[in-house]
Amino acid sequence: MSKVLVTGGAGFIGSNLTEELLRRGHFVRVLDDFSTGKRENLIFDEKYPSLKVIEGDIRDLDTCQKAVEGMEYVFHQGALPSVQRSVEDPETSNAVNVGGTLNILLAARGKGVKRVIYASSSSVYGDTPTLPKHEEMPTNPLSPYALQKYVGEHYCRLFYQLYGLETISLRYFNIFGPKQDPNSLYSAVIPKFIDALVQDRPPVIFGDGEQSRDFTYIENVVQANLLAMSAEHLHGEAINIACGKRISLNQLLNVLKEILGSKIFPLYQEPRKGDVKHSLADIRKGKEIVGYEPTVGVEIGLKKTAEFFSKARILLKDK
Ligand SMILES: NC(=O)c1ccc[n+]([C@@H]2O[C@H](COP(=O)([O-])OP(=O)(O)OC[C@H]3O[C@@H](n4cnc5c(N)ncnc54)[C@H](O)[C@@H]3O)[C@@H](O)[C@H]2O)c1
């Protein structure tokens, strides 16, 4: 059993990771300011009394130092994770995504923390034409968010090289699954599609829908984090976390329509600034370094996600 800190633990990925860490018997502390995360994502807290939640901001070094105190592993998921938001307000997202990451690393350095596992993003690759994207190719961030995630990766690498703090950056590729927020202006496409379909509203697609992504079910990401925790030695590397397959938004919507028995047509709108056209990961480095291999494919993941959201809707209606 280890003592671990999950920043952003009330968010979509952080709360799924927190629950699995608790299920495995670890002592978990969550640091979150609940700006995009929700308390109800941590509803399992009653089952696990070892869970401690600190409400605080990673932009504050003192808060980070208190949160890191006594922890062995830090899973740094906390961020403002939207491309669009970073285009509209680069300053705030920089303060959280770069400043907050630096604070977490500073707080962890020399405090007995064995390892910081950092949530990076496939957006660092940008619109480079080469597919699949592999970790040794040049990056080309197209938005402030992508650049901020990339800076975070370099800070992680530098903290290993300069101060010997073990780090790894997990470049997540379009993660989806239960607890992902469908209701914000900045929500990811899958929960938005499901939400529209179950309410009989036309889902909105920006562009022609032929853009493709390596959509990755949350269980694979949780697994990747656990593998990064138990790997032998890490030296600040960045690895792709994905399925290694891509699917277009039009195809994705068709699969969801079939699962949910919907016949509704999408509404196509202008493409958004900063969005990349295609994304697909080479996942061989992750396998080599931490033994990562996806275990849940897109279709099964979509079924599990649609089930979760349909159930949540029924519960909401019953209230
Ligand atoms: N979801 C994806 O497809 C995806 C893809 C690539 C990378 N990521 C990265 O994974 C991580 C988790 O993303 P998510 O999809 O779960 O998003 P999310 O918005 O659900 O979770 C982010 C969490 O960070 C918290 N947070 C934000 N600002 C904070 C601050 N100043 N102080 C403390 N906590 C703060 C939020 O309240 C939230 O709980 C992020 O670092 C994101 O950049 C996600």
Instruction: Quote the CA–CA distance of 306 and 195 in Å, as a whole number.
Output: 9
Catalytic residue of the set 73, 145, 150, 160: 145
Specify the residue for token string 């007995």: 112
For residue 11 and ligand 1, the question of a CB distance below 6 A is answered with: yes
70-94 burial code (b ≥16 CB/10 A, e <16): ebbbbbbbbbbbbbebbbeebeebb
Q: Which residue CA neighbors atom 30 of ligand 1 most closely? A: 57
Confidence (pLDDT) at 310: 82
> Residue range 292-301: average pLDDT?
97
How many angstroms is it from 78 CA to the middle of ligand 1?
5
How many whole angstroms from 206 Cα to the centroid of ligand 1? 23
For residue 37 and ligand 1, the question of a CB distance below 6 A is answered with yes
In 3D space, the residue among 231, 88, 110, 249 whose CA is nearest the CA of residue 168 turns out to be 231
Indicate whether residue 58 lines ligand 1 (CB < 6 A): yes
Return the DSSP state at 143. Answer: S
**Domain residue extents for the chain:** 3-176+216-244+279-296
pLDDT digits over 3-51, tens only? 999 999 999 999 999 999 999 999 999 999 999 999 999 987 678 999 9
Q: Which ligand 1 atom sits nearest the alpha carbon of residue 180?
A: 20
> Does the beta carbon of 152 sit less than 6 angstroms from any atom of ligand 1?
no
Q: What is the pLDDT of residues 258-291, one digit of tens each?
A: 999 999 999 999 998 767 788 899 999 999 999 9
Nearest atom within ligand 1 for CA of residue 149 = 43
**Closest-lying ligand 1 atom to the alpha carbon of residue 34:** 37
Atom number in ligand 1 closest to CA 37: 39
Parallel, antiparallel, or unpaired: how do β-strands 267-269 and 204-206 relate? parallel
- Considering the entire predicted model, what is its pTM? 0.95
160 is catalytic: no
pLDDT 10s digits, 300-316: 999 999 999 888 765 55
pLDDT score of 103: 98
* Residue in 106, 133, 130 with CA at minimum distance from that of residue 120: 133
Residues above pLDDT 70, as percent of the chain: 96
Question: Could you tell me what percent of the chain has a pLDDT over 90?
Answer: 85
CA of 12 to the centre of ligand 1 (A): 7
Q: How many CA atoms lie within 13 A of 274 on its CB side?
A: 17
DSSP-derived 3-state class of residue 300: helix
Distance CA 220, CA 172 (A): 10
Q: Which atom in ligand 1 lies closest to the alpha carbon of residue 76?
A: 41
**Ligand 1 pocket check: which of 32, 40, 241 to mutate, most ligand atoms within 8 Å of Cβ?**
32
Please give the pLDDT value at position 43: 83
pLDDT digits (tens, 9 = 90+) for 191-220: 999 989 999 999 999 999 999 999 999 999
141, 142, 144, 147: CA torsion to nearest 10: 0
Distance 264 CA to ligand 1 centre (A): 31
| CATH 3.40.50.10260 corresponds to the domain 3-176+216-244+279-296 | no
Burial class (CB in 10 A: 0-12, 13-18, 19+), 129: exposed
220 CA distance to ligand 1 middle (Å): 17
User: In a 10 Å sphere around its CB, with 0-12 CB exposed, 13-18 middle and 19+ buried, how is residue 311 labelled?
Assistant: exposed
d(CA 118, CA 7): 10
Write out pLDDT tens, residues 126-153: 888 899 999 999 999 999 999 999 999 9
**Ligand 1 geometric centre to CA of 77 (Å):** 5
List the beta bridge partners of residue 269.
Answer: 206
Q: What is the DSSP letter of 125?
A: G
Pocket flag, ligand 1, residue 96 (CB < 6 Å): yes
Both tokens assigned to 96:
């959280």
Q: What is the model's pLDDT at position 317? A: 53
Mapped onto helix, strand or coil, the DSSP state of residue 119 is: strand
pLDDT at 319 over 50: no
